[in-house]
């Protein structure tokens, strides 16, 4: 059995490694904030929309129906802050700004796209389960 080195350098190495990996179950881990950005309703939809290539703000607003300008701007800023989206501003009048996924954004976008695809493929079964649950609850009340 291998003994762990109790030296401060070893402990610091383990801590640095743990911080690099993240622990989504730890209440103070920054991975929770990133998870929230990626898996929010608008985060998922914007990541999937941007998998199709570079888009202007107005194009994204039309593509992701129902999102307000405020939520679009906030979600894009969060995804940009996490390194998933690049914002490209061209020095022209009127302003021209485009958004595209970074390589990290491409990877996470493909993962949430798989989840969105699974939901769409299983929507009939999900809705049936929802209706059955509601019927059961109504009969109990």
pLDDT at 37: 94
Cα distances (Å, whole numbers) of residue 128 to 21, 43, 140, 141: 39, 27, 19, 20
Residue 8 lies in a domain: no
Residue 32 lies in a domain: yes
| Number of domains within the chain | 1
Residue 10 lies in a domain: no
Residue 73 lies in a domain: yes
Residue 79 lies in a domain: yes
pLDDT at 47: 98
More confident residue, 26 or 66: 66
pLDDT band with cut points at 50, 70 and 90 for residue 99: very high
Query: What is the Cβ-side half-sphere exposure of residue 63, based on CA atoms within 13 angstroms?
Result: 19
Question: Above 50 in pLDDT, residue 137?
Answer: yes
Range of the domain at 57: 23-140
pTM value > 0.85: no
| CATH, residue 57 | 1.10.10.10
């Amino acid at each position: 059995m291998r003994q762990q080195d109790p030296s401060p350098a070893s402990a610091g190495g383990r801590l640095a490694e743990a911080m690099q990996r993240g622990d989504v179950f730890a209440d103070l881990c920054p991975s929770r904030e990133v998870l929230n950005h990626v898996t929010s309703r608008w985060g998922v939809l914007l990541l999937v929309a941007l998998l199709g290539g570079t888009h202007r703000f107005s194009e994204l607003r039309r593509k992701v129906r129902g999102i307000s300008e405020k939520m679009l701007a906030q979600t894009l800023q969060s995804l940009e802050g996490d390194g998933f989206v690049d914002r490209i501003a061209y020095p022209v009048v009127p302003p021209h700004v485009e958004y595209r996924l970074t390589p990290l954004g491409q990877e996470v976008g493909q993962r949430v796209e798989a989840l969105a695809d699974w939901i769409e493929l299983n929507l009939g079964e999900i809705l049936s389960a929802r209706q059955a649950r509601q019927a059961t609850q109504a009969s109990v009340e």
